[in-house]
Amino acid sequence: MDPFGNVVAVDRTANPREILSPAVARNAFASFHIAVSVPERTPFFLYVQTNPANAFDIELYEELYAKTSAGWIPDALERTKMPAFGTLPYLPLPVPGQNTVSYWMDIWVPAETPVERTRVEVLLKVGQGWVMYPMEIRVTPAVAPPMEPHSAALPPATARADTSALGPFRNFVCGTRETTREERLSVRQLIHRNAVQDLALARALETAQHNDLRGELLKRLGFNTRADFCKPSFTAGALGTEWFLRVRDLLYRKAGPPPD
């Protein structure tokens, strides 16, 4: 989201899906954006809780906006305590006309979490008023294997958000290797981390179930052969912006039925 409450131009899609009850894996992260639109000079605070209480470990990061040739884009992340307090204009990095602050909500789902539906609630106090945004999360039987630290050269902040997931997916499907490079904490870095985590699960499922999961995933994305997808010149631009959501959907379903 940009600082004016809109999806950044490069990430817009004609028919975005609405996910009311997202599925998550265990021993894994699930991440979400929280966009808070508030009047200027009106203090607010933000808090996140679960029902049942303490079902997940939750970290909150403020997304810092970078001015680019494609407009203002949230990129660097700065950890913030909960409740998070704020007001606009945001200092020390004011954005002219800003009316929205965005946060990255990082949810860690422990391996022992029961397979059930859990409620996550975002609570916002603006001035004298309160807003609550509830979201149901479906904890699936999927358990991601332990993940080793993995650094990679990331695409620029002006690239589509899903581009950060392409490198790990090509590693899995094509057997390529990403160029390694230490990067600062950013939205791009955590999207990449989540993709590495999901594809570690894919490798484990393929080994355990003795199936061609790579081929099945490619068919879901509209490719008949690996050669079509694994061309060196292939870029994320050939895929829709939500392609990795379809990959994740299939992986979590392969691990077992979701909670009733």
- Which pLDDT value is given to residue 91? 74
The closest alpha carbon to 57, from 26, 19, 36, belongs to 26
Phi-psi region of 240 (alpha: psi -120 to 50; beta: other; left: phi over 0): beta
- Statement: residue 259 has pLDDT above 80: no
The mean per-residue pLDDT over the stretch 101-110 comes to 96
Task: Give residue 193's Cα distance to chain centre.
Answer: 9
The mean per-residue pLDDT over the stretch 82-108 comes to 90
Kindly report the average pLDDT of the chain as a whole number. 91
- Statement: residue 92 has pLDDT above 80: no
Looking only at the bridges linking them, the beta strands covering 100-109 and 71-80 are unpaired
- Statement: residue 108 has pLDDT above 90: yes
- Which pLDDT value is given to residue 236? 79
Q: What percent of the chain has pLDDT over 70?
A: 99
Q: Where are the domains of the chain?
A: 9-142, 163-254
9-142 topology per CATH: Immunoglobulin-like (2.60.40)
pLDDT band at residue 256, thresholds of 50, 70 and 90? confident
- Statement: residue 73 has pLDDT above 80: yes
pLDDT band at residue 159, thresholds of 50, 70 and 90? very high
pLDDT band at residue 15, thresholds of 50, 70 and 90? confident
- Classified as helix, coil or strand, 114 is coil
